Structure 1
Amino acid sequence: MNTQTPRILVVDDEPDIRRLVSEILEDEGYRVAMAENAGEARELKKTGAPNLILLDIWMPDADGITLLKEWVAEDTMMCPVIMMSGHGSVEAAVEATRLGAYDFLEKPLSLAKLLLIVERALEAGNLQIENAGLRQLLVPDIEPVGKSASVARTKDQLKRLAQHDTRVLFVGEAGVGKELFARYLHNNSAHREGPFVDVAVGSIAPENSAVEFFGKEGSGKIYPGLLERANKGTLFLGEIGGMDKETQLRLLSALQSSSFLRVGGSETVRVDVRVVASTRTALDEEVKSGRFRQDLYYLLNEVTLEIQPLREHSEDVPALLNFYVDYFVTQDKLSFRKFSMAAQNFLRNYSWRGNVRELKNLVQRLMILGVGEDIELDEVKSALGSVTGDAIATSSVPEFFNLPLKDARDHFEKAYLEYHFERTGGSVAKLSSAVGMERTHLYRKLHSLNIKL
């Protein structure tokens, strides 16, 4: 079967509509999967990776608008969706397109119009993927910032380790930039042309762990797992100590043989992938307590590389401040601001419990919420909570107030959660308690706001 043939998912509770649309699309050479309700649609979207979805609005278990909202929230590269309804209305069409639907078709369907819109939607989806790839190529790789002896020594060690397939365990406090150093290792290695796939191990529920890591197959459909998606590249396992025991055993076997079986599969999948990991906890203590397998610990820990906390190389603080100012000006289109010399000197002597992540978040807050080009010492102290009084002059209006409500809410939620994440030492369990959000919902929120664990 040609894997390049577009895959289309047809979701409709009316059997005759499903069959008619599917037959027409199959006659045109498309691969078609069918779902009669929202539950089936969710599963087929996850396992079948469709290039286009035809989605009915009225279904027995959940309406199509609700399903579209859910998918758009969890998938930043959502494939095009064409809404269908036998009870078409201007309000429904407007709501669907506002949420991101490609187009809206009324029943009874015009088959000529259906085929034309399907063709255009697939072209739009391909263009979106190409543009995303181009944006990724245009964004330069961010190197660890700083010229201190500590950063220079670590970068030199990583360049040498990159020439071999040695497995590296990055050790350090929350927020020191372990993922960034892992990317630096990847970018200097023979795997640099392949993907860099990073995963926060603790964010994967144990019951989903096997499928997430090793993939799943069944009914002629394949869902590739993390190891498969990282083939020819690097898989970075963030905070490896959070992995459940069953997945530890399966990962050990996969790393020893460079092969594995997908869940539900019978054919061995072979991969060429470099696996590196990180931990902020004493993993040897986890081994002694029996919570982490000793054999997997030794396999991942061929070389231990400790990433120093920011307070140990505070001479890099001014360079990091300047770097993140430029970063947010370029990436988020925020207005340029610069730190005064007094502010820089104060921050060089600050304790930085949240390390580089805390510094980055501080710069972002000051650039979003502050006014004027200069960031003075008093404003910095207020933002850090070191003095009483408001962090911003009451007469000023935060820039994100001028954004649409959803974007403004995302800005606030991201800053709010990152602030509490720093205060709880990078613990999702403590963060869940601090903000009053159930942990499963919190993981989804952190993922949707692109907050790294």
Structure 2
Amino acid sequence: MPEAYVLVVDDEPDIRQLVSEILADEGYEVAVAENAAMARQFRESRTPDLVLLDIWMPDEDGVTLLSDWMTAGNVSFPVIMMSGHATIETAVEATRLGAYDFLEKPLSLAKLLLTVERAMEHARLKQENTRLLRRVEPVVEPIGRSVAMERLREQARRLAQHDAGLLLVGEPGSGKEVLARYIHAQSSRRNGPFIDVGTGLLAHGSASIALFGKEDDGVVSRGLLEQAYGGVLFLDEVADMDDGAQSRLLSVLETQSFIRVGGTRAIPVDFRLIASTRKPLADEMRAGRFRPELFYLLSGLTLKTPALREHSEDVPELLNYYVDYFVSREKLPFRKFPVPVQNYLRHYAWCGNLRELKNLVQRLLILGSGTEITLDEVKAVLGEQPAMGDARSRVPDYYEMPIKEARDSFEKGYLEYHLDKFGGSVARLSNAIGLERTHLYRKLNALGIKFRDKKLDL
């Protein structure tokens, strides 16, 4: 794989050939342009990592070209100016406009390579700083120690090693975007961008410009497809796309290119597509609402995010995580969920999944007072909705599990409830439930119940 893509712009054939051969020997991928017009075409079709730009050219000088690029914005690459006839004023002007450095002709090959290397390192550090500044939240892995979540993380890490398109399916609020970001962070594209595209944008009137960018009188605005170059494009709730948006996406995936609005040249793409849906795409396809060709392209690799009720044993850990999250990020007062409240919420329906749980924690920290959250507070915030939801959700979660997992789930909740009831006393718990103490200790350890963190009365 080449280190970087370098564009050499010079009207002298000997210079172009010499510089391109030297850089190619060093492992760079090189393109050459003999004038400013050709340089514009190269730059518009593919963004270079570095440009070596001659100042004096017959059709348009390099300083004017550099000025136009800087005025248009989105210049993420360093530009090194070259000339054998430039004055100090010209070199100063080029630097003022944003040129990284200036090389005099005849070129010193050692200085050329050193300047290119330093410019590439400078650009890399600048991009890294930009990524760090834009990273509002660190990437977190899907939370939970249940069998379902352990399996999900394992599958995600395995799928992250591939570059094929991926479809995430699951109920609203079940953590599909968190999972997509986790997969991106585990992949070889982790240093590339993660571009999140909601279907609200795809249904908007300016969707084409937002996705594909625009060309207008030589001024280029790059869309989300170009911004995702080298990284991941995440399409949220892809089933909600209208037929026109589906058609445009299908064309991009089939040709691996697109044309900007107002443009004429095909722009190559390089991103991994991760899409999500709450609706079964096969049903949408059979109903005529989703294109079959796009369905088969998207559904090759599929990963399901479990609903929260399917791993309700993770609710206590999630509650603690979001308490810490809002305390550290929003400076809300710390409040604790006692074990009886945690157990109550473990058996709540969670129709809104992780999103509902996160909102609940935020409201309790904002509206409540005192160090401990009471069950009455929780019920008041949840409103009239019963803890077990509709008739279907009133069936205990463990009814849907294999018998061993169901037994463990029941026993863990049962023992945690009574251990809290007896103030953490294993002795009193043993007497109350009729289980010999040695066997009870083994059971608590096997189920991961941290009874030693409580005050024991032996």
Q: TM over 0.5, yes or no?
A: yes
Query: Which residue number in structure 1 is paired with residue 292 of structure 2?
Result: 294
Computing the radius of gyration from Cα coordinates, the structure with the larger value is 2
- Judge which range, 247-256 or 358-367, deviates more: 247-256
Gaps of at least 5 residues in structure 1 are 4-25, 35-47, 52-118, 120-128, 389-453
TM-score (norm 2): 0.56
- Quick check: 1:285 aligned with 2:283? yes
Task: Please tell me the residue identity of whatever aligns with 1:163.
Answer: Q
TM-superposed CA distance for 1:337, in Å, is 1.2
Q: How does 1:431-442 map to 2 (within 5 A)?
A: none
TM-superposed CA distance for 1:257, in Å, is 2.3
- Give me the whole-angstrom Cα distance separating, in 2, the residues matched to 1:287 and 1:138: 37
Q: How does 1:17-36 map to 2 (within 5 A)?
A: none
The 8 Å contact of residues 165 and 300 in structure 2, kept in 1 or not, is answered as: yes
Structure 1 residues 304 and 369 mapped into 2: Cα distance closer, same or farther (>3 Å)?
same
Query: Which residue number in structure 1 is paired with residue 153 of structure 2?
Result: 155
The 8 Å contact of residues 214 and 221 in structure 2, kept in 1 or not, is answered as: yes
Query: Which residue number in structure 2 is paired with residue 181 of structure 1?
Result: 179
The 8 Å contact of residues 202 and 239 in structure 1, kept in 2 or not, is answered as: no
- Quick check: 1:240 aligned with 2:238? yes
TM-superposed CA distance for 1:166, in Å, is 2.1
Q: Deviations over 1:76-121 (max 9, x none)?
A: xxxxxxxxxxxxxxxxxxxxxxxxxxxxxxxxxxxxxxxxxxx9xx
The 8 Å contact of residues 198 and 238 in structure 1, kept in 2 or not, is answered as: yes
- Give me the whole-angstrom Cα distance separating, in 1, the residues matched to 2:170 and 2:306: 7
TM-score (norm 1): 0.56
- Judge which range, 316-325 or 160-169, deviates more: 160-169
- Give me the whole-angstrom Cα distance separating, in 1, the residues matched to 2:244 and 2:194: 25
Report the 3-state secondary structure (helix = DSSP H, G, I; strand = E; otherwise coil) of the residue aligned with 1:356: helix
TM-superposed CA distance for 1:140, in Å, is 2.6
- Give me the whole-angstrom Cα distance separating, in 2, the residues matched to 1:267 and 1:166: 26
From 243, 247, 250, the equivalent of 2:248 is: 250
Q: How does 1:164-175 map to 2 (within 5 A)?
A: 164-175=162-173
The 8 Å contact of residues 171 and 278 in structure 2, kept in 1 or not, is answered as: yes
TM-superposed CA distance for 1:248, in Å, is 1.4
Structure 1 residues 50 and 304 mapped into 2: Cα distance closer, same or farther (>3 Å)?
closer
Over the matched positions of the two proteins, sequence identity in percent amounts to 50
TM-superposed CA distance for 1:263, in Å, is 1.1
- Give me the whole-angstrom Cα distance separating, in 1, the residues matched to 2:128 and 2:300: 38
The 8 Å contact of residues 170 and 304 in structure 2, kept in 1 or not, is answered as: yes
TM-superposed CA distance for 1:133, in Å, is 4.3
The 8 Å contact of residues 342 and 376 in structure 1, kept in 2 or not, is answered as: no
TM-superposed CA distance for 1:49, in Å, is 6.0
Query: Which residue number in structure 2 is paired with residue 269 of structure 1?
Result: 267
Query: Which residue number in structure 2 is paired with residue 191 of structure 1?
Result: 189
Structure 1 residues 386 and 291 mapped into 2: Cα distance closer, same or farther (>3 Å)?
closer
Query: Which residue number in structure 2 is paired with residue 347 of structure 1?
Result: 345
The 8 Å contact of residues 260 and 268 in structure 1, kept in 2 or not, is answered as: yes
Task: Please tell me the residue identity of whatever aligns with 2:276.
Answer: S
From 208, 226, 229, the equivalent of 1:228 is: 226
- Quick check: 1:316 aligned with 2:311? no
Q: Deviations over 1:372-393 (max 9, x none)?
A: 22111111111111499xxxxx
Structure 1 residues 319 and 287 mapped into 2: Cα distance closer, same or farther (>3 Å)?
same
Q: Deviations over 1:154-174 (max 9, x none)?
A: 111111111111211111111
Query: Which residue number in structure 2 is paired with residue 306 of structure 1?
Result: 304
Task: Please tell me the residue identity of whatever aligns with 1:181.
Answer: L
From 359, 362, 365, the equivalent of 2:363 is: 365
Task: Please tell me the residue identity of whatever aligns with 1:305.
Answer: L
Q: Deviations over 1:165-219 (max 9, x none)?
A: 1211111111001111111111111111101111111343353222222111111
Structure 1 residues 130 and 373 mapped into 2: Cα distance closer, same or farther (>3 Å)?
farther
Task: Please tell me the residue identity of whatever aligns with 2:326.
Answer: F
Report how many residues are paired: 278
Report the 3-state secondary structure (helix = DSSP H, G, I; strand = E; otherwise coil) of the residue aligned with 1:375: coil
The 8 Å contact of residues 308 and 353 in structure 2, kept in 1 or not, is answered as: yes
Q: Deviations over 1:244-299 (max 9, x none)?
A: 21221221121122211111111211121000101111211211122211111111
- Give me the whole-angstrom Cα distance separating, in 2, the residues matched to 1:190 and 1:243: 29
The 8 Å contact of residues 203 and 241 in structure 2, kept in 1 or not, is answered as: no
Gaps of at least 5 residues in structure 2 are 1-35, 41-62, 76-96, 98-126, 387-458
